[in-house]
Every structure is written in structure tokens, then in C-alpha cells.
Structure 1
């Protein structure tokens, strides 16, 4: 193992089944309403890259203590719940759960509900009815955060009672029970041994350790703590420290899912001449992205589009084992294939149950970086290569073949290096070296004329201009098509479902 600042020895780690690691995928379903490359209908979910899909969110009614829909138009009129369950048609082993809560729901209503046995019973019966009625495989509790936010000291004990009582109802019926939990202040909010006993998985939200709200530039989700914060209250803000804190508090490693963000955080540097981690910032975030619309927050899908604009310098923080980038005074922290590979290796070394991501709609779903879902595929690739006797060929390699243009942002590495690669120390450029090829391949059934020609759900190339491709979505009365364009100099490759170099794609008339 690498540098572990909170070493613990577990002899049982050797008997964990590392081939059974889960990948728990949260989906912020409001992304259905986003435009362009931010649009993410439920049907776009890569079911081969997730073992668990979590529909976020349902709510808790403060007056009745019952589970309620937060978006009845999406959930019912647009068949959101039904479409989520239908994902199992393409992966029969996929587990589909419903998340209740979320940051916007606050903590007070959960605190009030959990404070009494009678109101807990009302919630549990409501949750059971809701889950069974709509066909979910289980429930995810997302109470942010017990005993810390608009709550009371008794929240810690009451949350444990709620989980135990839910288990007693759900478990005999074969229903799954998980919870998203904080990475810090564990002893304040959680009775860890009880949660570990009764939850199937504990989803560690190992991100937002830092952001534009700080006065200095630090990483959103570092694997290891930085020595620059030694002796401060933020000294333990890292994946490594948080995971060990949960284990030391009594969590079974096999119940823990290591959370990885599929997004980045931005900050504005005080000076463009000081761009290193720890540099002073103005406590302001960069402009909101076109899809997520949140200042200081960019989905990875927005990040790859930023990088295509050029002039970004990509760096690697060797101490915290994560990337960062800057352009002028804009400072960005994010995860890429390399840092994700390190985190998956870390999880595997400790015998953790698997990986959790927040959230799939901010991965590069449409392949702007030339590979669809590069971060989810980096997780899968790292899990495959870390398993004993695993084949060197995985479902990832079938997509990212030797003929496909793979960028440094999508590769993963399990080796820690004291040097940085050229791609991480120089300003990126997106100047193309070839021109777009146009044509109309007569033998390719995966090409259609335009977005109005959709008859089947899925991705299709254009039969008129090979730089254009479409996503066809099934709706009640047929299909709706969305148009997209490859980066300049690339064309849509229907064989691999990516934007590829023209020389490698048959776009002849």
C-alpha cells in the first residue's frame, strides 16, 4: 500500500471477494431537462458500467412524514420511475434504488421524523409502499446531515434507530437499503457500527472537501491530505483520512462504497502568477457551466468542452494524487482517468465494497472527449485490472480500441510517479491536423439522414455529414432526435460509437 496516514491492519481483508465490487451510480434526474450535451434522459444510463442505479430524488413531506414525488411531471407524466425500472431490461443484474432526501430537502424534516417511533413507522410504511408500488429494488437514505444541520444532538441515535427499523421491514422482503453519508464529522452524525450492521452499503460522499468558499486553492476530492494544511482543522480532508475514520469508527470495509465525483470545482486565483495548490483565491467561483448552471461547479462534460477551447495548463499534484488545471486566474480541480485509477486501487487495497459516483449525468455521456463515459469506464477498467486473474481484455477495451483516439484525460494509471507527463505540464491545444470528411456510406445502417429520421433509440451517425451524429430517444408517440457535432477534425465512428480520426472511419460515398 502507498502512504497511509491512518494505518490499520485487517487480517480479514485477504478473504474479501474482490471480484464482487459494486459501482453505485447516482443519477440527478433533473438532467432530463438540460439541453445539448447536458441532456441526460434516464434511457442514456450506461447499464453495463453500473451495478446499482439510484434515482435521485424523492422527498419527505414535512407534515405527513411520508415519501413523496418531488417532480411529478418527470416521475409520472414522463414515466421517470417506469423508465428507471426498464433499465434492467438491458442488464438483468442491475439494482434500481430510489433515493429520498438530498441537500435541498434539508435536515430538519428528517430530524423531526426520526425523533419518534410513531413517525418513523409512518415513514417506513410509506417508503415500503412507494418502493413496492413503483418496482424499485430498495431505498437510499440521503439525510444531510444528522445532528449537524438544522437538527438536534439526538439525530445520531435516531438515525441509527431509523436504519435498524427499516432493515427489519425491508430485509425480509429482499429489499436493499443504502445511505449517502458525510465524509467528515463522522462521530457527530453517525452510530457507525449500527449503520454498518443494517445497511447494505454506506455511500461515502468523498468530495467537496474544498471549493471556492475557501481562501486558498485546494482540491475538491484529494486522495491524500496536503502537508500545506497540517495543523489546521482541514488537515484530514482527504479520501484516505475519511475512509480510515469510518473504518476506525466501526464500519466493515466491505460495506463502504468510495465516492468519486464526476465533476470539478473552480476558484478564482488572487494572482495568475501563483497557480500552485494552496495559492490564495478570491473566494469566488468561475462562471456557471452551460448545463449545470452553478457558479464554482463544472460537470466533467463541461470540463472537457472547456479544455477543447485550448489555453488550459493541466497539472498533477503528486502529494495528493489528483489533477488540477488553470487558465489565467481560473483554477480547476477535478478527477480524471489517472486519479480515478488511484482511488479504485486504494479501495481495492482496503477491501472496500466498491465505488459510488455522483453523478452519471455529468460524465462525458456524448463522447466530446472522444470516448463516451470516460470516467465510468476508467472505474470499470481499474476494477477489472485490479481483480485477481482478470483478463487483459475488458468491455472498456472494446470501446477504446487501439484505433480510437484516446486522450490523456481518459487514461488511468495505478503507479505513483514523481514526475509529470507532458500532457499535464504544458498548455493544451485543440488545433486539428485534418479536415472533416463528408460522405454518405450506403452500407452503414447506423447512419441516418437527420434528427427527424429516428426510428430506433440509440446513437446514429449522419449519412450526409460524418462530423454530425444524433441521439434518438424513445417517447410515447415515436422518437425524438438530438443533433451533435464532433470536435473539429473528427468524424463519428459508428463502429465504436465515438468521434474518431477521419482516416480510421469509412465515410466514402
Structure 2
């Protein structure tokens, strides 16, 4: 009898282990849709470049929120497919035909959308109800399987410090009630650290209403770090796994994956609902002294902008992996993360080794899966010698017991046709705005080039992309598109 009990306990224990390691894990993948406007090898088109079935949930980033409680198309020229528009939503949804079982989710918010409008809507019972109803109708209209709330952040950045934390709960409760009518998914991306959680989230209650919670366990350090004694910045790792030797204060000891996860667990978040965010990009700094390049070294500004992201202080894995032979690479044994130095440039990023450790960490802690920001900064065309999507392949392989990513099971020809982007007379080519370019984006949208009637700018998330109309056409500001010359008034433009 005693042997039978022992055998039973062993079987139960083995089953428990198998249940943690063998259960289906989520792989939640964001796409920054503005990457469609990037040039050359940097351009990311979901139709062309999502060729493998590595995501369980694919998130369309982003849609906005209006003060009246409705969802806003931030870039309708990209999102919609009428006439000359790109039809990116349709391209996105066609992936479900290519990869059966894939769930697509509309992400609302993001850093640029800020907090104020979310705060206004969440403060009113009437607006909360309107948003919940509109969100359900939006998902059904555009064939999304659910909504991702990316409010950055409740009680901060223009929000209401006193009431946002509780109002966020009330907003999620209202959405949950509405979404249950159509069996829609409701998720949220949240700031990961303890100080963010205390300000912004009632963790037990938001966990009640959300299907899963994506911890944004990155941006712990960047070229905004606290000043060094000489008035500049200090270098730090974007997404370290553990506390490091330069983390001396209580606040600094929160800036890592492990501390963040254990805070959320201690506050009652169910581990199976927690999805660990993994960045496929890094942050860069310019060093004050190239000879002083350890973690915590003095920096006076953000690092140089690169070809794809075109933003100082940020670098995609697809950018740095091409250059690594020119950099000196280092590995933090304490924090389990790489960094690299080239002259006065200092970069923190994630690579195959660090992502292997983070993905194994997900299994070891019984979490619900991995989230990535974002697919368009992995090496999605395979220029760095490790095949296409080396980071995503690493995550998939570890979460799926060493299996490789299965190919598409449905021919792409079954997809719903979309409007072609490059049809006459709307054909145009794009280049990054040139260095020193004086054009500044006042808002997202299309704007004529004030110096050349054959050119125009597309502003997306504060970056201006420069387009040239096809030969024989000019930019029609009224139509916001390239058109035949007889239809265009160039009197206000100094044509070249």
C-alpha cells in the first residue's frame, strides 16, 4: 500500500511538471503598423513578411481613442482598403486564412496616444459604456478576435492621479460585460515595475476581467536615465533579467524582469494570465568617454539614429545584428543580458542567448507565455546569418518543446483581395526624410512637400516619411494622393 501511495505521488508530481512545461503557451506578437512606411529592407508588410506560424495572437498596433468614447483609426489611409488605400487591416485578417487558429487583436493606445483621453472616458459611466459597445462593434466590423488595452498609463502622463486606478477597473468591467456577448478576448499591456503598479493598477481586480496581461518588461533603462553627477545620462540595460551591481537604490532594484514578475505575483496576478514581454529592439547612448563604457557609464545624449527606426536612442535587432562585427560585445553575467560598444556609441539589446534565458524563465515560473514588441524589428528577412526571425524562432522552439515552426497550411491565394498600394496614378516611392530635414510632423497624416509638388510626407508616430509620386503625376493635397497634373494646383509650391 505504501508503495502504491508513493507511486501515486510520483505520478501526480510528474503530471504537475508536465502540465507546466507541456501546456500550450501564448506567443503574443505586436506589429507596429507604421513599419509599412519604412524604406527598402526596413519596410515590414504583414502580407509579405509574416511567413511562419509562430504567433498565437497577433496585435495590430495601434488604434486611438476619442474623447467621446469611440475608437479612432489613427491612419485610415493605411488601415482601410477603399480606392487607393493600403488595406492593412484586411491584409492582417487574411493571415487567419493562412494560419488557422491565429487570433488577431486590435491594440488601442500606445505611448503616443498618451493617457488623458483614456482618463476622460474611464471617469464617466456613460462613456465607459459607449467605449465598451463601440469596441465590440469595432472588433466585429473589422473581424478582430478581441481588444488589447494599452493605456500608458493610468494616473500618469495627463491622467487623473486620484481616480484613474479605480476607473480603469470599472472600464475593464464594462468591456468584459460587453465582450462576453460575442466571446471576444480582452487583454492589456501594463507597465511592469512595482512603482508603476502601485500608481496605476489594482492588480487583483484587473486580473479578474482580463484574459491575459502582457508585462512590458523592457524600457527599464534608456537615454532618459537619472542624471550622473556631471548633468548627463548613465547607460543601463533595456531589459535585464535580474538586478545588477549598479542597482543600488530600491527604485533601481525594480528595473529588471525578475523583480517585476515577483511583484505582480505577490499582488495576486494569476501566473497563467501573465505574459512576459520581450523586446526585439534595444536602446542606445552616446558615451561621454569611449574608454568608460561599463553599465552605468556617463552619457551625454541618445545614441545615433539608425536606418530603420530613424529615432535617436533606439535600435532594432535587425539593425544591430548587421553591425555587430564592428562592435565590441559584452555580457552581463549578473543580469543575463548583452550590450555592445562602438566608439562613443553604447547599445543595450536582446539576442538569441538572452532571449533563450528569458523564454526558459517563462517555463520555469509557469507563466502564460511570451509577448514581443515587435515583429518588425526581428531579422525578418534573414540578413544576419541566423535565418529569418531568429529571435521569434528561439521563443517558439523553447515554448513548444523544441519543435520548429510549422509552415502555412493554406495557400495564400485563398485570401480576400486587397487594394494594391502601387497603382497608377497613385504609385509612389519612399525614402527616409533626409538628415537635417526641416519638415516637422504636427500630427499623423499626409502632407505636401512645401518645396516640391511631386513629393509628399506621411507622418506616422512623429516620424516623417518622404514619398515621391510616380513620373508624370503630382501630389494632390485635396485628395491626399498622387494625381494627374491637370488636377493639381501647385501655385503654393516651389516646384523643382
Q: TM-score, normalised by structure 2?
A: 0.75
Aligned partner of 2:40 in structure 1 is 36
3-state secondary structure, aligned to 2:106: strand
Distance 1:192 1:91, change over 3 A: same
Aligned partner of 1:394 in structure 2 is 404
1:367 equivalent to 2:371? Answer no
Distance 1:94 1:457, change over 3 A: closer
Does structure 2 retain, via aligned residues, the 8 Å contact 1:37–1:365?
A: no
Give the Cα separation in 2 of the matches to 1:136 and 1:59. 15
Aligned partner of 1:189 in structure 2 is 200
For structure 1, which runs of at least 5 residues remain unmatched after alignment? 1-10, 386-391, 399-455, 459-472, 483-509
Query: Which residue of 322, 333, 336 maps to 1:321?
Result: 336
Q: 1:173-193, CA deviations, whole angstroms, 9 ceiling, x for partnerless residues? A: 210000010012202100111
Give the Cα separation in 2 of the matches to 1:47 and 1:120. 38
1:337 equivalent to 2:352? Answer yes
3-state secondary structure, aligned to 1:73: helix
Q: How far does residue 46 in structure 1 lie from its aligned partner after superposition?
A: 4.0
Does structure 2 retain, via aligned residues, the 8 Å contact 1:268–1:331?
A: yes
Q: 1:290-316, CA deviations, whole angstroms, 9 ceiling, x for partnerless residues? A: 111110001111112222xx4311111
Aligned partner of 2:149 in structure 1 is 141
Q: How far does residue 116 in structure 1 lie from its aligned partner after superposition?
A: 1.2
Aligned partner of 2:89 in structure 1 is 81
Q: How far does residue 230 in structure 1 lie from its aligned partner after superposition?
A: 2.0
Distance 1:393 1:345, change over 3 A: closer
Aligned partner of 2:294 in structure 1 is 276
Give the Cα separation in 2 of the matches to 1:475 and 1:67. 24
Give the Cα separation in 2 of the matches to 1:478 and 1:296. 33
Aligned-residue Cα RMSD (Å) equals: 2.4
Distance 1:101 1:133, change over 3 A: same
Q: How far does residue 476 in structure 1 lie from its aligned partner after superposition?
A: 3.3
Aligned partner of 1:266 in structure 2 is 284
3-state secondary structure, aligned to 2:186: strand
Aligned partner of 2:441 in structure 1 is none
Aligned partner of 2:212 in structure 1 is 201
For structure 2, which runs of at least 5 residues remain unmatched after alignment? 1-14, 226-232, 430-496
Query: Which residue of 256, 266, 288 maps to 1:248?
Result: 266
Does structure 1 retain, via aligned residues, the 8 Å contact 2:98–2:412?
A: no
1:377-416 equivalences under 5 Å are 377-385=393-401, 392=402, 394-395=404-405
Q: TM-score, normalised by structure 1?
A: 0.73
1:376 equivalent to 2:387? Answer no
Aligned partner of 1:235 in structure 2 is 253
Does structure 2 retain, via aligned residues, the 8 Å contact 1:204–1:259?
A: yes
Aligned partner of 2:140 in structure 1 is 132
3-state secondary structure, aligned to 2:295: coil
3-state secondary structure, aligned to 1:302: helix
Does structure 2 retain, via aligned residues, the 8 Å contact 1:16–1:254?
A: no
Give the Cα separation in 2 of the matches to 1:154 and 1:220. 31
With a CA cutoff of 8 Å and minimum separation of 6, indicate the structure with the bigger relative contact order: 2
Give the Cα separation in 1 of the matches to 2:397 and 2:105. 24
Q: How far does residue 18 in structure 1 lie from its aligned partner after superposition?
A: 3.9
Matched residues, number: 390
Does structure 1 retain, via aligned residues, the 8 Å contact 2:337–2:350?
A: yes
3-state secondary structure, aligned to 2:181: helix
